[in-house]
Every structure is written in structure tokens, then in C-alpha cells.
Structure 1
Amino acid sequence: MSFSPDDQAWLRRSQIAVPKFWASHGTAPLAGDALRIGGRQFLIQARVWEADAEGPLLHLFIGSSHAQSDTVFG
């Protein structure tokens, strides 16, 4: 997952481990899906598949976080 620099710093300071939540799910997250990590909400902005010698690799680009109390309308 690719987080914004501010969110990367917040994850490090808070010592929050980012789970590989889709490892136990049948499908990987789609653009527009929301993830809740450490009490904040992140939206998947884009997905990019790459192929290397070990097989396909999914890169997720994550939007800036919203605090748990934030509400987004629209």
C-alpha cells in the first residue's frame, strides 16, 4: 500500500501495523473501497497490477486519512 507522507508518519509514530486484510478474502480491494486502520478511514484511490518473476503483485494507492469521527458526504 502507498500512503501519503503525513499518513506514513502517523502510522510510524502510532506504531500501527498495516494488516494484509485481503489475504483472507477472495477478492482484493477495489478503487473507492474504504479501509479502517488504527481508527482512521482510508479510501483506495487506484490499483496497479505488476508482474514479476514471483507472479502478479497488486499496488494500492491510498488517499489521505480521515479521523474516525469525520464524516464525508457526497
Structure 2
Amino acid sequence: MSLPTPRVVLVFGADDQAWIRRSSITVPAFWNGHEVPPVQGDVVRFSGRQFTIQGRLWEQDGDSITLKLYMSSAHAPSDTDFGPL
């Protein structure tokens, strides 16, 4: 019996979600095809901003499994610029 591949969903705060929507950014599917799930403390970077995984939540609904990743705010404490926005 094979286990279903979990669907990975990134959850952003309201400000970052508004920025993603306003800028028409497509969040990359970072973990598609990877067998090792992301862990707390992993960092992702896209569109010039960096996010850290602060928490994880596994959910099962019927036969599907979802891993929700709760992301940090994209604002670096030092106002570091990670490239063009």
C-alpha cells in the first residue's frame, strides 16, 4: 500500500498575503517532487523576499493529506533588501 503524497500549502500573514495578491505573484511549489517534507526553520525566498517556516500542521481529510506551513513575516528586522521587488 502506498501512502498519498502530501499537498504542501504555505500560509502567510495578512500583510504578506496582500502583497502577493497585489503583485500578482505565483508562489513557487517548492516541495513538488521532494520526498522529504519541509521542517520548522527552513527558509524560502521568492520575488526578493525571504520567509521562514515558523510552524507546521498536518491534516488528513479522507484519503488526502495536507501539510500547512505557517510562514514568518517577510520583513527583515534590518530592512535588508533581497533584490528587486
Would you call these one fold, judging by a TM-score over 0.5?
A: yes
* Alpha-carbon offset, residue 70 of structure 1: 4.8
| Aligned residue pair count | 71
Identity fraction in percent: 49
Question: Aligned-residue CA RMSD in angstroms?
Answer: 2.0
With structure 2 as the length reference, what TM-score do the two structures score?
Answer: 0.73
Moved beyond 2 Å, runs of 4+: 66-71
1:69 aligns with 2:80: yes
Task: Return the alpha-carbon distance in structure 2 between the equivalents of residues 39 and 19 of structure 1.
Answer: 13
With structure 1 as the length reference, what TM-score do the two structures score?
Answer: 0.83
Gaps of 5+ in 1: none
Q: Which has the larger radius of gyration?
A: 2
Gaps of 5+ in 2: 1-9
Q: Which has the higher helix share?
A: 1
